[in-house]
Amino acid sequence: MAYKLIWSPAARDDLHDIVVFIARDNPNRAMSFGYELISETDWLQEFPEVGGSREDCHSGIQERCDRCTE
């Protein structure tokens, strides 16, 4: 069952700020980075429990490690 991924207002603001910061040096890369980051979160809709829990950071946070071999 697929879940719906909802970006919080704070997350959207953070993404916007990151893209604006990158755009100072490279506007094209800033836009592509923003789209890539959004695209990379799509898998969360199908696999919301992937990764390890990061309750030490914030309740409900999951960490994904592409380099993990387990």
Look up the domain containing 25 and give its range. Answer: 9-63
How many domains is the chain built from?
1
CA distance 61 to 49: 10
Is 1 contained in some domain? no
CA distance 49 to 15: 23
Is 30 contained in some domain? yes
Is 28 contained in some domain? yes
Is 45 contained in some domain? yes
CA distance 26 to 24: 6
User: Can you give the pLDDT at residue 18?
Assistant: 96
Is 16 contained in some domain? yes
> For the whole model, what pTM was predicted?
0.65
User: Can you give the pLDDT at residue 69?
Assistant: 40
pLDDT tens for each residue of the chain, 70 residues long: 678 888 889 999 999 999 999 999 999 999 999 999 998 888 888 877 776 655 666 555 555 555 444 4
CA atoms within 13 Å, Cβ hemisphere of 2:
6
Is 3 contained in some domain? no
